[in-house]
Structure 1
Amino acid sequence: MNSPAARLYLTLTALLLSTPLLAEQDWQSMPANPLLLTVSGELACCPGGSAYLDLPRLDSLPQTEVKTQTPWTDTTDSYSGVRLSELLKVLGAAGKTLTATAMNDYSTEFGIDTALQYPVILATRRNQQQMRIRDKGPIWIIYPLNDYPQLRKEEHHHAMVWQLKSLQISD
């Protein structure tokens, strides 16, 4: 057990188990801070239930920055948050379709495939500032429209839900 390979294996195992992303989290418990997002559907993390996320839980996941202009903004801004694909992976989501619902009950359905192919994020910050409800926050689905002009289509614009409150995963 003192071979270099065995030591490397033990070191990597310890690192993996100590990493918050890979450690088992209680996604099904209500967070200590205000609830921002509920994710439901077939989730390996939460058999028969939903995952509940507040800002600290979202911030504990790897963050991605996207600089883009949207159909609703006049400037190219910097948006940051967790990649949608990363959140789905961490929760162990199974399905092909997402239904995104906003605080005003606007709802739209779109395929998960685009979120897996492109760095679509659940933005919680715009230009390093936490987004408020009146500024399309606290969560806005952002597509990287500047980097991928092929995403500048009505179907993707409809999926850029702001004031996001829930995601439902289905087949």
Structure 2
Amino acid sequence: MSALPRVFACLLLLPAFVSAALADDRWQSQPEGPVILTVTGPLGCCPEGVALFDQARLDALPQTQVKTLTPWTEQVDTFEGVSIRDLLVQLQASGRFIEAKALNDYHTRFEVQTVLDYPVILATRKNGEPMPVRNKGPIWIIYPLSDFPPLRKELHHQAMVWQLKSLTIVE
């Protein structure tokens, strides 16, 4: 192969490398708005192991809905947000457990496998409206309890952290 085709091939690949580098940096850089979620741990996208999210960054990720009744609500509500599975894929996270921590320092640990098996979301909206801190926001981990009876256990209820501020991926 002559030098010219090699240079041309490298130029074709350059945008992919630059794009990947920019994608990595977007999770680590300070977001424009207030940070509402910090994700730490072994994150392939982030050499420092820290990804920061404001509302806009979370909203930019693919959104999904879960309609469910919870132990803390009186009716079936529609929750919208990013699936934890999708977030882990975006961040290239690896680990066996997720430690979730709330604004009031409540914390719990649950298995990554649960969010791979079920559509568990980081809800930022309830019935189409943003959730303020006084109403379990800005982020509430929502399990699809109504659709999956095996999730209707205290173990999973304890993992439905509201006023979520951080996730830590651990082995």
**TM band (smaller chain):** 0.7 to 0.9
Aligned ranges for residues 15-164 of structure 1 at < 5 Å?
A: 23-164=23-164
* Letter of the 1:46 counterpart: C
1:26, 1:81 → 2: CA distance? Answer: 19
TM norm structure 2: 0.86
Equivalent AA in structure 1 for residue 150 of structure 2 = Q
Distance across 1 between alignment mates of 2:140 and 2:162: 4
Q: 1:43-101: per-residue Cα shift (whole Å, max 9, x none)?
A: 01111330000111001110000000100111100000000000000001010100000
Q: Distance in 2 between matches of 1:110 and 1:23?
A: 28
> Using the alignment, how far apart are the partners of 2:34 and 2:127 within structure 1?
22
Partner of 1:123, secondary structure, is strand
TM superposition score normalised by structure 1: 0.86
Whose helix proportion is higher, 1 or 2?
A: 2
Count of residue pairs the alignment pairs up: 155
State the SS of the aligned residue for 1:86. Answer: helix
Residue 23 (structure 1) shift: 4.7
Contact 2:79 2:124 in 1 (8 A): yes
Provide the secondary structure at the position in 2 that maps to 1:27.
helix
Q: Which amino acid aligns with 1:65?
A: Q
Q: CA deviation at 1:125?
A: 0.0
Q: What one-letter code is carried by the residue in structure 2 that aligns with 1:110? A: F
The Cα RMSD (Å) is 2.0
Structure 1 or 2, whichever has the larger Rg, is: 2
Distance 1:58 1:137, change over 3 A: same
Q: Which runs of 5+ in 2 are unaligned?
A: 1-12
Counterpart of 1:45, as a letter, is C
| One-letter amino acid of the counterpart of residue 136, structure 1 | K
